[in-house]
Amino acid sequence: MTIPVSSTTAAPSVRLHVADMDCATCVAKIQSHLAKVDGVLAVEGSAIGRTLTVAVDPALADATTLQEQVGRLGYVARPIVEGAGPPEATGTWTGTAARIAYTSLGLFILAMLLRAVGVEPTVMDASGVTLTAPDVFLLLSALVGAWNFVPKGVRSARALVLDMNFLMTVAILGAVGIGEFVEAAAIAFLFAIAELLENHSVERARASVSALMDLAPDSARVMRNGHEVTIAADDIVRGEMLLLRPGERIAVDGVVERGASAVDESPITGESVPVDKAPGDEVFSGTINRSGFLEVRSTKAAGDSALARIIQLVEGAEALKSPTERFVDRFARYYTPLVTLAAVLVILVPWLLFGAPFDLWFVRGLTLLVIACPCALVISTPVAVVSGVTAAARNGVLIKGGTYLEAMGGVKVLALDKTGTLTVGHPRLLEVRVVDGVSEDEAIALAAAIEARSEHPVARALVDGGEERGIEPVAGVTGFEAEPGHGARALIDGVEFTVGKPDFGKLGDEQAEIVRDMASGGRTVVGLRRGGKLLAWFALADKPRPGAAAAVAGLKKAGVRSIVMLTGDSRAPAEAIAGQLGIDEVRAGLLPEEKVEAVRALEAQYGPVAMVGDGVNDGPALAAAAVGIAMGAAGSDTALETADIALMGDDLARLPYLYALSHRARGVIRQNIAAAILIKGILAIGVPLGAVSLVTAVVIGDMGVSLAVTLNAMRLARVAS
């Protein structure tokens, strides 16, 4: 979440690691406090990453100022050095907080054992207060266990913040005040253990992000001044020559200059089959050189690589809240003060108005205070978002935030561009029919010679068709001239040749019938003429991407109601491709602005629409859709910037996985919220009836719910790709 304080442009920022900022309420409390500090312009915090990013006016605030301010709330903040990860955290179960919890638990067990065997000598009997040995150990247990949160609770009270630390501090002090030593000690060590369990659960979510960081090697071998040297990956500059042996990870994005190998791109694109690489081919940071030796010229520094961008966007995904998360935040703002007020009323009303025992209703009021903490509710969604987003990133899908993860789960219609998305993006020569005076090979050689000078997709198909058949273009071509919308002409040994569309007005019935037959199935037909004499016809067509039909079938099986093709191509070839792939509807001949109108029309008809395109030509339609999905984003900064979700490779098989993951994530988020509200609601109702004890409130209302929603969220990592 980001709290803007004032408008600013290019303000410097300070990044801090806050080791014990492990829940959303902690983040909100720190953000609210820092927002009031002079020189702070905006504050962004992450409970999963335990990081704060603070935009500052350097004349008024710096890292030291921010550390001091965060320290006033009871947290320890340390600056994050650029290029280095956050400080190494002490293990959840071996750190100071864990040792305090273990000690508190040990003292509690000792006290209960003494009571069980009847060893209860009086230690103090003065001023109307009698303490036995077990009572002393229980008080020590409460005191030790409370050391993790009472100092923060006192600071929260000073800041007028009703967080869990404050509420638990009041509960323990209240229990001690009325002589309920067992409850005080139980609350202390149980809450301490609950905090450890929550921390462990959040650490598991954080570990999924760390796993992405581990994909990049720490060092690389490069050529400098004619010598092979090993340097830190962060020191690689653009233009550096990397040397890669089989089995080594690639440190930065680059282009192969020498060598050939198969590269495992699954960490970035999700593609399980290694991709053959030769000079001129792109390679990406985090991928693995599997077989041959490669020399790769870096095209980016380590901090600008595709992997670095993925990590950056995944780390920021928690900040982009979905509508459900925003609802939870609003709910929590009202829930905690209302339940706290109810706790005060539970204590006072029965005692003052009905003469009920104060001790009894005081304990019940304290129990409601424990239930009032919204930590389990607020953490339920961020953990699900981080788990889902990082699982997707490991499978070649980059989701930019919880809002898009959840929105994709509600999509019922998928709109896809044709060329380059559903198809390979360029036509191929499929058929040749000679008419008079030349053989098929001669016709191809002549057409390829003319079209070698053009960049039009049809021209490239004719040239590639010749290369595939091993046919050399004829020599002696001069006077090339393109005729946009019609074709091209050139002189070969002084004779004019043309390649272009058929003109049915000038064709006889026989030739017109041949063209119609060759054009069946949506193919494009062009003719070759010498002077005005027709020599041959060529039929060309784009072809579906491998796996496109399976992806469409998978989407329908996953629950997508309708799959629609939006294309600027003519209807015949579009419908031919759609028929091969099983697409439900075709809208052809669309200009970019007409694709936007089509997306809006689909949303009016069906509801939220996801649009899949290349991230550049389909930019307006991607922006208009509820979710914009870009294909082949690994090598495209534009696609990463413009799309809400990016498929890092060109594999449409990621789409059914994406839909299944987002649908499951949407369900998990709602399950977590419903469970947290329902359990806390039932407990709150049970408190005045005497059915819920302080210990039950801690074990179930806080520790149990937090652990349950976190473990439920972690199931997203197991969604199959």
Which residues are annotated as catalytic? 417
From first CA to last CA, the distance across the chain in angstroms is 30
- CB neighbourhood size of 518 (10 A): 20
Strands lying side by side in the sheet with 51-56: 2-4, 40-46, 51-56, 13-18, 77-79
Look at the block and give the residue holding tokens 């680059």.
Answer: 254
Contacts of residue 497, defined as CB under 8 A and 6 or more positions apart, other chains included, come to 446, 450, 489, 490, 491, 528, 529, 530
What is the b/e burial string over 44-79, where b = at least 16 CB atoms within 10 angstroms of the residue's CB? bbbbbbbbbbbbbbeeebebebbbebbeebbbebee
Kindly state the helix (H) or strand (E) to which residue 654 belongs, with its residue range.
helix 654-686
Q: Take residue 564 and report the two structure tokens written for it.
A: 């629609």
Contacts of residue 556, defined as CB under 8 A and 6 or more positions apart, other chains included, come to 563, 582
Helices vs strands, H then E, count in the chain: 24, 29
In terms of Cα–Cα distance, which of 299, 31, 308, 328 is closest to 161? 31
Q: What is the DSSP string of 41-98?
A: EEEEEETTTTEEEEEE-TTT--HHHHHHHHHTTT--EEEPPTTS-SPPPPPTTTSHHH
Contacts of residue 70, defined as CB under 8 A and 6 or more positions apart, other chains included, come to 16, 18, 30, 33, 34, 52, 76, 77
Half-sphere exposure at residue 546, Cβ-oriented, CA atoms within 13 angstroms: 4
CB-count burial class (<10 Å; 0-12, 13-18, 19+) for 115: middle
In terms of Cα–Cα distance, which of 419, 430, 538, 544 is closest to 488? 538
Partnered with residue 586 across adjacent β-strands are 565
Q: Take residue 247 and report the two structure tokens written for it.
A: 């089995």
| C-alpha–C-alpha distance, residues 42 and 60, integer Å | 14
